[in-house]
Amino acid sequence: MVVGADRMPLDELRAFYRTGEEIAIAMLPPGTSRVVARRARGDIFEAQLGNGALFRELPSGTFAVEALAPDGSLLAEELTTGGAHAGERPVHGFATSFESESIPAVLAWLRALRCTVVQIYDWMASYCQPLGPSGGWQDPSGRPVSFEALRTLAAGIREQGAVAHAYAPAYAVDLDFAADHPELLLYRNDGDAQSFFDMIKLANPDNVTWQRHFVAAYGAAADRIGFDGFHVDTYGYPRAPLDADGCDVDPRAAYASFLRFVRASRPRDLISFNQVNGVPSAAELPDGPGFRYCEVWRPNDAWRHLEALMDRSAGRAGSLGREVAGGNLIRGTIACYPPVWEVGTGAEQGAAREAALRTVVCTEAIATCLGASALLFGDVTAALSDAYYPKHERLSAAEAATVIAWRRFALRCRDLFIEGEDTSWYEIGDDNGAVALVWDGPARPEPIGGALFARVVRSSECVAVGVVDLSGSPHGLWSEPTARGRCSSVRVRLLLGDPESWSAAAAVLGRSGDRFAPVPFRVVEHREGRAVEVELPVDAGWSVLRMTR
């Protein structure tokens, strides 16, 4: 896979490394004189050269690892993410093809996306007995599943440095199991068992017998197949369930009990928990490797809803799903299924597909600027378009290249938006604000249609301004197509103490290999004294300005 016009990837570099472990790269391009790891904030870590390159220790974060020639030119690079566990800063993908001939293409796309967590979707033989015979089985929807292909897929994902994250619904029960075990189910107030359509009944997550069954069944499957984590799914309801005795069940407490049991039984597995539309709000996650996950549905079909959903999921105003656990920040993931690919045929199909793809890549860009991850891409060069993952949209080679360009830009810049104080809401557009963005349209601290979406994150030594051009979006919805925006550049003015002591750099999607490069600025008057002003190009729709002391 060619990363840029003149750059190749460092093939040995895994997508994820554990903080504190050594990172060795044996195969370097001829003429390499230095190997460095760069973070978005500008930190540079030097590798020890010998027979290859060795990083003794890198901190948590996402790094561009570069092989450099003696003149400083870039020979090769690759992106990698590190942390205490892969859920600390998840880079999401999905897989839902489980026949041997599909596995190489799935792994190649996941590697290109630099995924660190891969959700394996609807792989089970049944919801209550997920592991089928060694010769293979059919999933609950009748699709063929090869046991050996699943094992190969899980092993390949782990070899690339990612977690093989098994889809595991918290309370889905097959009809025959439900008929045999009515005491384990949740009930409605009219006496009927809670159900999902006509094919699934819902178990009581707070029922210890069900918890034991779940862990035994899914744990045995994980051990046989090679999964090293579970995506614990819910359907966003029930809201007022009863147990088999007719007593009220508090869903928030029931989920917390269920997750604690799973964690105690599987202490090293990565566990994510789906809070559909933020339900239940302020859900309690267990200690250990894990992260919060929010599946988004109407009425939350606008980009501007994503931030509040993540806030409510964590139960912390302004936290965007951020929590401190063991000294490590845990990030949330946003999952949505943009239904934008019904583009018809004929001469207008190309423009319609371009607008559909624009919606999807802008969704990931927005999530990145909000300090979150997004689950949108995976399988064989595919994008999610339906909650049933096999109904995904296959991308053309050109569309896949666009996705990779936006994904790599997201990874290159993401740390700027997950470390520091987000000051966007009282700086952008505020008459007394310290940040102004000037072009021939509006700029807003929330992602709305017809405007530039801007995000400001500050620390004592760094200020980041991310700009995503949403001027081509009619209504700011992730559920409708988005045209290319009309902004070519924006003038960014920032109030900084002692302006001359700062330096400016910018990463512009589609320019200079997307790398941060120095940009000029001038000192201008401000109502509080002096500010810096930078002309920031916005060629392809996403740019990031970084000011450092």
Domain limits of the chain? 16-83, 92-335, 421-548
| 545 in Cβ contact with 534 (< 8 Å) | yes
pLDDT, average across residues 85-89 = 90
Q: Which residue has the tokens 């060069």?
A: 381
pLDDT for the residue numbered 443? 96
- pTM of the full predicted structure? 0.94
Class of domain 92-335: alpha beta
- Of the candidates 295, 272, 257, 289, the residue with the CA atom closest to the CA atom of residue 387: 295
* pLDDT band for position 317 (cuts 50, 70, 90): very low
| Residue 543 predicted with pLDDT over 50 | yes
Phi, psi at 32, each rounded to 5°: -65, 125
The CA distances from residue 298 to 224, 391, 448, 478, 508, in Å, are: 38, 19, 16, 10, 33
Q: What is the mean pLDDT of the chain?
A: 92
Place of tokens 């590697």: 111
* pLDDT at residue 347, as a whole number: 67
Helix (H, G, I), strand (E, B) or coil at 323: strand
Residue 6's pLDDT is 39
pLDDT, tens digit, 9 for 90 and up, residues 514-527: 899 999 999 998 88
- Give burial (CB, 10 Å; 0-12/13-18/19+) of 52: middle
The pLDDT of residue 509: 96
Q: Which helix (H) or strand (E) holds 543?
A: strand 542-548
Q: Report the distance separating Cα 46 and Cα 542, nearest Å.
A: 29
What is the strand order of the sheet 529-537 is part of?
A: 435-438, 489-495, 529-537, 522-526
Q: What is the pLDDT of residues 218-230, one digit of tens each?
A: 999 999 999 999 9
320 pLDDT band, cuts 50/70/90, is: very low
Q: Three-class SS of residue 354? A: helix
Class level of CATH domain 16-83 = mainly beta
How far apart are alpha carbons 510 and 299 in whole angstroms? 34
Q: Which CATH superfamily is domain 421-548 in?
A: Golgi alpha-mannosidase II (2.60.40.1180)
Under 8 Å between Cβ of 482 and 473: yes
Confidence category of residue 365, pLDDT binned at 50, 70, 90: very high
Is 421-548 the same fold as 16-83?
A: yes
**In the predicted model, is pLDDT for residue 338 greater than 60?**
yes
Closest CA to 79 of 66, 64, 92, 91: 64
User: How sure is the predictor about 166, in pLDDT bands with cuts at 50, 70 and 90?
Assistant: very high
Q: Give the integer Cα–Cα distance in Å for 224 and 212.
A: 18
Name the least confident of 248-252, 348-352, 407-411: 348-352
With a pLDDT cut of 90, the percent of the chain lying above it is 83
Provide the 3-class DSSP secondary structure of residue 328: strand
User: How remote is the C-alpha of 536 from its chain's centroid?
Assistant: 26
For 476, half-sphere exposure in the C-beta direction (CA atoms, 13 angstrom radius) is: 17
Residue 236 to residue 31: CA distance in whole angstroms: 55
Query: In 3D, which of 361, 406, 404, 509 has the Cα closest to residue 111?
Result: 404
- For residue 261, the surrounding DSSP H or E stretch is helix 251-265
CB 86 within 8 A of CB 62: no
Residue 164, beta-bridge partner list: 118
Q: Which among 418, 410, 258 is positioned nearest to 330, based on CA atoms?
A: 418
Query: Which carries the bigger pLDDT value, residue 268 or residue 8?
Result: 268
Q: What is the pLDDT of residues 48-57, one digit of tens each?
A: 999 899 999 8
pLDDT computed for residue 419 by the predictor: 85
